[in-house]
């Protein structure tokens, strides 16, 4: 959260007060009424993007390579139906995916 606050040139307290909520024992970025991340950008005529992309949290850096999306081809297609970026970027080998997920050398 410090990296995100610094990137936005905000104090840690300003950042957490405006963009973070506590869910049980963990913290999460706030969402808009439609469940979009508060930092998701949707400019007319452009692909959706991330307003804090260089410092996005681990959850975002590892998307769409989450276990639930990798368990089957059907699960991958289901995730792709909700995410405009799936299928549009470069293809990655399994080793690269596992490194991004923090599991170097592990099978999905």
pLDDT bucket at 10, cuts 50 / 70 / 90: very high
Which long-range contacts link 23-30 to residues 24+ away (Cβ below 8 Å)? 27/1, 29/57
40 in the same domain as 88: no
22 in the same domain as 46: yes
99 in the same domain as 77: yes
**pTM, rounded to two decimals:** 0.69
70 in the same domain as 41: no
Q: Is the pLDDT of residue 104 over 90?
A: no
68 in the same domain as 51: no
Tell me which residue range forms the domain holding 86.
63-108
Distances (CA, A) of 73 to 47, 77, 87: 24, 6, 13
CA distance 108 to 13: 37
């Amino acid at each position: 959260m410090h990296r995100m606050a610094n990137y936005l040139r905000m104090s840690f307290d300003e950042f957490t007060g405006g963009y973070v909520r506590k869910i049980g024992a963990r913290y999460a970025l706030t969402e808009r009424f439609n469940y979009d991340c508060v930092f998701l950008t949707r400019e007319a005529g452009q692909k959706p993007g991330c307003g804090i992309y260089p410092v996005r949290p681990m959850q975002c850096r590892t998307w769409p390579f989450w276990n639930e999306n990798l368990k089957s081809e059907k699960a991958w297609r289901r995730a792709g139906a909700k995410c405009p970026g799936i299928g549009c970027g470069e293809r990655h080998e399994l080793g690269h995916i596992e490194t991004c997920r923090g599991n170097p050398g592990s099978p999905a």
